[in-house]
Amino acid sequence: MGALALGYAAPLPWPGKNDLMAHLVGRGLGVLGIALLFWAGWTLHRHRTTFLPDKAATHLVTDGPYRFRRNPIYIADILILFGLAEITQNIWFVILAAPFALLVTWLAILPEERHLEDQFGDAYRDYKARTRRWI
């Protein structure tokens, strides 16, 4: 929402090329983000645990996209922002992706990690040791 508002209030020129390859790459990132979001959500659903970050997890999920990164949903969010940037030609989506990543790490991921460590103990610590966070 902030990127849309900034696009109107303080528009910046689109730095990319307006060609087919740029459109395919930018939109491809967005589609990849949507696919990753659905894969991560489906994986959580299969394990009957919550998708919502403010709810307690009932299972430690380490398969699906979670075998590669501990926070695939947030990776998906960033990819979707990049896709939105290309679709709208609004560079603010890209610029605001970095503060979004920092805020998500601080406000969501770190508290989630504390919760998962309390909830699952050594199993989570082992998973955490072998699987990168999200970047």
% of the chain exceeding 70 in pLDDT: 100
Give me the pLDDT at residue 81, please.
96
Q: CA-CA distance, 80 to 26, in Å (whole number)?
A: 9
pLDDT tens digits for range 84-129:
999 999 999 999 999 999 999 999 999 999 999 999 999 999 999 9
pLDDT tens digits for range 40-66:
999 999 999 988 877 888 999 999 999
pLDDT tens digits for range 71-90:
999 999 999 999 999 999 99
